[in-house]
Structure 1
Amino acid sequence: MASSTILPTEANVAVAVPMPDILPPVKQRRGFFGFLRRNPTITIGASLVLLMVAIALFAPFLFTRDPTALAPALRTREPSAQFWFGSDMLGRDVYSRVLYGTRVSLTVGFSVAICASLIGLTIGLISGFIRAADAVIMRIMDGMMSIPSILLAIALMALTRGSVGNVILAITIADFPRVARLVRGVVLSLREQPYVDAAVAAGTRTPVIILRHILPNTLAPLTVQATYICASAMIAEAILSFIGAGTPPIIPSWGNIMAEGRALWQVKPYIVFFPAIFLSITVLAVNLLGDGLRDALDPRMAKRV
């Protein structure tokens, strides 16, 4: 072998040939870009999500028109150079409406994910660590989870006026019990750890134990769960708008566009096809990001060199 070759030196001292590097340099294995190379699912999902965010932010500069402008003389035009995605039965540009609809879906998805995660995290921490409150809180959560989330959201929307804010509120109320149950399960396993027992024996107050020892260990599964909530919230918003229980028809959302085009589906399928494609790509991107984060944050599933 090359490693056993002896090279003579002027001092008559034998020196072994340097061993080849088995591992790449540290700078190639660590850092942000190294993390992305080791987790291609996160890279693909995050790239698609960032693309959708860019479309939502820069929609006015992407050759769009007023998404609510009516032009009856130009209704139901096929996709062409004038109307890239065609026009609907009122002459509105489907391309502009789809791009502006990205704002509604992302706003609902991100808002529901943040609100449901914060509410569920608070309830889960209290229920999981304080035994006296666990029985009461979890029975309430079980009762809410016994109702399908979309039906609960429809019932809540029936009591309020259609708006983006009310859609966010309804879907948040339907989703946060699942976050609370997830966090509670994590806390139940953490509170039996030796370092928690040591903190209790040392006289550390309960809020300090929760914030210092319990909360940091719940953030990884909570982050993964938040991505799934974001994806399901966008689907729920589209369903609510599709059946007329979500955002007002004047607001260009993907669910409203598909609802307006379903009557012409057999003769003008592009009215439904383009918003459905954008919704599918966005949900797929968020789910890929969630799967990648799960693999990266779970030490049992993380890839090792």
Structure 2
Amino acid sequence: MSAPAIDPTKVAAAAPMPDIMPPVKARKGFWGFMYRNPTIAVGGTILLLMVLMAIFAPYLGTTDPTALAPARRTREPSAQYWFGTDMLGRDVYSRVIYGARVSLFVGFAVAICASIVGLAIGVVSGFVRWADGIIMRIMDGLMSIPSILLAIALMALTRGSVGNVILAITVAEIPRVSRLVRGVVLSLREQPYVDAAVAAGTRTPIIIWRHILPNTIAPMTVQATYVCASAMIVESILSFIGAGTPPIIPSWGNIMAEGRALWQVKPYIVFFPALFLSITVLAVNLLGDGLRDALDPRMAKRL
């Protein structure tokens, strides 16, 4: 027996349910990325301001940072001398602004050089099994020496210059980058797609270029920010103890080294370069933390 037909005109339709939660509008593009990653926005903005300050130093009301004026030495901060003058009458404000060029250049140069060399060493060590033991023992030997002591030892063999400082700090930072890359490569070479490429007869350089290198860029980028911050600190330490850049070059470490004798009576000579160094290192570390959270899918923020 068939069921009776239902008249559609006599069926009551339920009222639509109200939206309890409004739809979420996802922000896209550059500003959306910055909104989702405020740490990158803050750190990147501060670092960008420091870079612009270093580039446009001659247009920021500065004078010759090496000009001596004994008649105006140890002047307190004022409207004429914003950060005061040092024991030789040089404008501390101009020296601090120009000093950003040295510290940022050293930090960026060491980060780039250490990342490139460390990437090459880490990839070869992690993927080529027979070379792993030899290369890593050398890296372990370098890592057993504190980076600052290794940099001091290398600087003792050369004369003080910005290039030699970059070389010394780079040699000290390479083992840390190579260790990180090696750990990433060791996990990647066991992936099924790498095994499939090997089974298909793909040559090792092609496998490294297509499957290994792209997956090491994210962690290496994060590590490069920490290397940059560490390099700026080490450069300041080397200059502070007289083993870094020549005293004639205005760097934050040299300024602090020259003002330490008058620290108790003229603390501003040391305070301002130390403040700028701290802010710059903080900005780089904030940028690195933000990149780590943004590039790591396990720590990415989800709506």
TM-score (norm 2): 0.94
1:21-170 equivalent positions in 2, closer than 5 A: 22-25=22-25, 28-170=26-168
SS class of match (1:23): coil
The alpha carbon displacement at 1:93 in A equals 0.0
Alpha-carbon separation, structure 2, partners of 1:155 and 1:16: 80
The count of aligned residue pairs is: 293
Secondary structure of the corresponding residue to residue 283 of structure 1 = helix
Residue 223 of structure 1 corresponds to which residue in structure 2? 221
CA shift for structure 1 position 13: 9.8
Q: 2:196 aligns with which of 195, 198, 217?
A: 198
Mapping for residues 270-285 of structure 1, pairs under 5 Å: 270-285=268-283
Match of 1:8 in 2: none
CA–CA distance in 1 between the matches of 2:281 and 2:72? 32
Following superposition, the deviation at residue 82 of structure 1 comes to 1.1
Is there any run of 5+ residues in structure 2 with no aligned partner, and where?
Answer: 1-10
> For the residues of structure 1 that align with 2:12 and 2:124, how far apart are their CA atoms?
69
Give the structure 1 partner of residue 183 of structure 2: 185
SS at match of 2:104: helix
Does the alignment pair 1:214 with 2:212? Answer: yes
SS in 2 for 1:154: helix
Residues 161-212 of structure 1: per-residue CA shift (max 9 Å, x gap): 1011110000000001110010000000000000000000000000000010
Q: In the alignment, what sits opposite 1:246?
A: 244
User: What amino acid does structure 2 have at the position aligned with 1:101?
Assistant: G
Q: 1:18: how far off?
A: 8.2
Structure 1: gaps (5+ residues): 1-11
- 2:18 and 2:220 map into 1 onto residues whose CA distance is 45
CA distance in 2, matches of 1:77, 1:229: 37
Aligned-partner residue type, residue 78 of structure 2: S
- Find the aligned partners of 2:40 and 2:103 in 1 and give their Cα distance: 21
What percentage of residue pairs aligned between the two structures are identical? 80
Identify the residue that residue 255 of structure 2 maps to in structure 1.
257
* 1:31 CA displacement: 1.5
Does 28-37 or 285-294 show the bigger shift?
A: 28-37
Tell me: CA distance 1:215–1:23, structure 2 relative to 1, closer, same or farther (3 Å).
farther
Inter-partner Cα distance in structure 2 for 1:65 and 1:234: 24
- What displacement does 1:24 show? 2.6
Q: How far apart in 1 are the matches of 2:196 and 2:62?
A: 61
**Pair member with larger Rg:** 2
1:300 to 273, 298, 301: 298
Residue 58 of structure 1: how far off its partner (Å): 0.6
1-side partners of 2:185 and 2:41: how far apart?
A: 30
Q: CA deviation at 1:90?
A: 0.2
1:16–1:30 Cα change, 3 Å: farther
